[in-house]
Amino acid sequence: MDPAITVRPARLQDATAMARMHVRSWQETYRGLMADSILDDPGLVDARQRFWTVALSDERYRANRAAVAEQNGEIIGVAMAGPAEGPGGSPAIHLYILHVLASHHGSGAGEALLDAVIGPEEPAVLWVADPNPRAQAFYRKHGFVPVGAAQVEDGVRDIRMIKVPAAEKATKRM
């Protein structure tokens, strides 16, 4: 990771900067996949600020882990993971958000954010946009594999990926 980039737990006072960065990342990543009317909505930053304020302060989300990557005092990446929702209860953690500004792709910020919110031996699940070959390759590099499930949200097709820790894989083979 670039030595000028630091990763730390997100704080409530980061909500505004996180929202701006999050929206900018969406605009860089999802242009052509998501409707321009959503990406260019003048209220999108305010909506994301409300989201981050709630995610970082509401007791309902106490179990979530949120982190930011910074460079020169500017937030360049965000991540959030928490308990998996829905039936089955497995895997234990869901990566809900991991976004890094395009200018910092390949800097190590994404990997550091992932490590900050999901432990190396924790089973995990995520949904990733499809097509999004760069993100899908990043997740495969970090042990996630597609499981065949797909969903469409806001006009964007997502595929489900899971990470099964090495120790759990070895136990299943026995």
Q: What is the pLDDT of residues 53-82, one digit of tens each?
A: 999 999 999 999 999 999 999 999 999 999
CATH of the domain at 129: 3.40.630.30
Which domain range does residue 92 map to? 5-173
DSSP secondary-structure letter at 89? -
Cβ proximity of 165 and 123 under 8 Å: yes
- Per-residue pLDDT tens digits for 117-127: 999 889 999 99
Cα–Cα distance measured from residue 154 to residue 152, given in angstroms and rounded to the nearest whole number: 7
Strands 74-83 and 93-100: antiparallel
Number of domains in the chain: 1
For 87-115, write each residue's pLDDT tens digit. 555 557 999 999 999 999 999 999 999 99
CA 142 to CA 137: how far, in whole Å? 9
Give 27's contacts (C-beta < 8 A, 6+ positions apart).
39, 40
Q: What is the pTM of this model?
A: 0.89
